């Protein structure tokens, strides 16, 4: 009797609210072989004994920080070879989307609930590269994306 292979899923985000929102999606990861990646080793306590990786944080105001973040995300992707990536952003999620697609992963972007009036800068930049692009505000949904399917908060 054959057993179904569990898809390798990487759940990745920057810190703070992005991390909190990602953790609220955990029930959706049932049935997957899940690894988590984020910007602070302190967040390991939030996920118990699940596979956990720390990546450098970066933002659009620090080019060196962005480069470090890109390299860190790429290293995690090369090591894990996820089939699916889900991210709530921000800059590390942007790199996970871009590199993950090059590596053949299916990618889901969930834009931050904090972006009430406009999509996040990262979200606007990755929309055309993701397999599923979600917003948590119905007013921000559009015909060409993102879609609104509810909020995680």
Q: How far apart are CA 27 and CA 47, in angstroms?
A: 12
Rg of the chain, C-alpha, whole Å: 15
Q: Is position 47 within any domain?
A: yes
pLDDT at 49: 96
Does residue 90 lie in a domain region?
A: yes
Q: What is the CATH number of the domain that holds 32?
A: 3.40.50.2000
Q: Give the structural domain span for 62.
A: 8-148
Specify the pLDDT at position 113.
Answer: 62
Query: Is 0.85 topped by the overall pTM?
Result: yes
Residues of the chain with pLDDT under 70: 1-3, 113-120, 153
User: What pLDDT does 124 receive?
Assistant: 74
pLDDT at 74: 98
- Looking at the structure of the chain, the number of domains it has is 1
Q: What is the pLDDT of residues 95-114, one digit of tens each?
A: 999 999 999 999 999 987 65
Cα atoms found within 13 Å of the Cα of residue 88, Cβ hemisphere only: 27
Burial track 59-71 (b if 16+ CB lie within 10 A, e otherwise)? eeeeeeebeebbe
Please, what sign has the CA dihedral across residues 15, 101, 24, 5? Answer: negative
- Position 89 scores a pLDDT of 86
Q: Per the domain annotation, does 2 fall within a domain?
A: no
Let me know if residue 78 belongs to a domain: yes
Burial (CB < 10 A; 0-12, 13-18, 19+), residue 107, is buried
Tell whether 3 is covered by a domain: no
pLDDT at position 117, please?
66
User: Residue written as tokens 């993950």?
Assistant: 100
Inter-residue contact 86 to 9 (CB < 8 Å)? yes
What dihedral do alpha carbons 55, 102, 24, 58 form, nearest 10°? Answer: 30
């Amino acid at each position: 009797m054959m057993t179904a292979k569990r898809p390798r899923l990487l759940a990745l985000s920057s810190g703070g609210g992005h991390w909190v929102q990602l953790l609220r999606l955990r029930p959706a990861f049932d049935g997957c072989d899940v690894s988590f990646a984020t910007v602070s080793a302190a967040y390991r306590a939030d996920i118990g004994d699940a596979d956990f990786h720390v990546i450098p944080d970066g933002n659009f105001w620090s080019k060196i920080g962005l480069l470090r973040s890109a390299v860190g995300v790429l290293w995690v992707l090369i090591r894990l070879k996820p089939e699916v990536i889900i991210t709530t952003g921000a800059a590390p999620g942007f790199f996970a989307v871009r590199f993950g697609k090059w590596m053949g992963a299916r990618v889901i972007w969930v834009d931050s609930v904090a972006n009430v009036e406009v999509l996040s800068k990262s979200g606007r930049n990755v929309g055309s590269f993701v397999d599923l692009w979600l917003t948590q505000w119905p007013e921000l949904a559009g015909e060409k994306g993102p879609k609104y399917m509810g909020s995680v908060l």
